[in-house]
Structure 1
C-alpha cells in the first residue's frame, strides 16, 4: 500500500500545499471580517447579516474543508516518511500546526458569538489575533524549508 502511495507522493504533497494555501487565506481573512463586524455593524443591521453570511461561508465552504484536507494530506505524508521523528524542526512544525488548528477553533467560536449577537470583543482584539496565523505560518515555513534545528 505504501509503495502505491509513494507513486503519488508529488501529487499528495501538491494537494497538501494547495490545501494549506486555501486554509491560510481564510485564516488571514476571517479575523479581518471580525474587525469590521465588531467596529461597524450593529446587531440585526443589514451589514451585520451580510458579514454573518460572509463569515459563515468562509468558514464552512473554504476554511473547514481546507483544514481537513491539510490534515489528511499531511498525515499521509507523515505515513510516507516525510516526518523526521528525531528532528526538532518536525516537532516545531507539528506544534505550530496544532496551534493553527486551535486558532481555527477559536475563530469558529467567535463566528458563533457574532451569529448569536453576543460578541464582546473589540476590533483591536481581532486585529491582534489576526497576527497569530502569520506568526504560526512563519514557524511552519521556516521549520520545513530552513530546518534551523
Structure 2
C-alpha cells in the first residue's frame, strides 16, 4: 500500500478511536449516574466501531513505523507508551461498560473529568511527538 494512503488510514482510524474513547468515558460517567439506556448504545458503538478502529490504529501504525524505519527512535517509544496507556484505558472502560450493562452499580466519581483530561493530554503529546519527532 502506498505510504500516504497508509498514513491517511492510520490518521482516520486514530480519529475514530480517540472519539470512541471520549464516548466511552461519557457513557461510563452517565451510566454510573443511572442513565442505563446510554450504556447499551455506547457499548454497541464501542464493539462495532471503537474496537475495530483501535485494531486498525495498531496495524497501520506498525506498518507506518516500519516503512519509516522508526523503531530505533526514542520519540516513537515515548509515543507508544501513551498509545498503550490509551489502549489500556479503552480496556478498563470496556469492562466498566460491561459491568454497567449487567446491572452493577458503579460509584459515580469526579474522576470522569480526569479521564477526559488524560485522553486529551495524551493525544496532544502523541500528536506533538509524531509531527515534530523531537528525539
TM-score of the superposition, structure 1-length normalised?
Answer: 0.82
* 1:36 equivalenced with 2:30 (yes/no): yes
**Count of matched residue positions in the alignment of Structure 1 and Structure 2:** 135
Correspondence for 2:44 = 57
Q: Cα offset for 1:82?
A: 4.9
Query: What's the counterpart of residue 78 of structure 2?
Result: 92
Which one of the candidate residues 107, 121, 130 is aligned to 1:144? Answer: 130
Equivalent residues in 2 for 1:72-91, closer than 5 Å: 72-85=59-72, 87-91=73-77
Among residues 47, 56, 71, which one is paired with 1:69 in the alignment? 56
Measured in 1, the distance between the counterparts of 2:105 and 2:126 equals 31
Contact 1:110 1:119 in 2 (8 A): no
Where do 1:120-139 residues align within 5 Å? 120-139=106-125
Is contact 1:35-1:127 (8 Å) kept?
A: no
| Structure-2 residue corresponding to 1:25 | 19
* RMSD over equivalenced CA pairs, Å: 1.6
4+ residue segments displaced more than 6 Å? none
- Tell me how far apart the structure 2 counterparts of residues 19 and 131 of structure 1 sit (CA, whole Å): 21
Structure 2 unaligned blocks of 5 or more: none
8 Å CA contact retained: 1:32, 1:127 = no
In structure 1, the partner of 2:8 is 14
In the alignment, is the contact (CA less than 8 A) between 2:75 and 2:129 conserved in 1? yes
Instruction: State the 1:131 CA deviation.
Output: 2.0
Instruction: Say if 2:24 and 2:42, in contact at 8 Å, map to a contact too.
Output: yes
**Larger Cα-atom Rg:** 1
Mind listing any 5+ residue stretches in structure 1 that lack a counterpart?
42-46
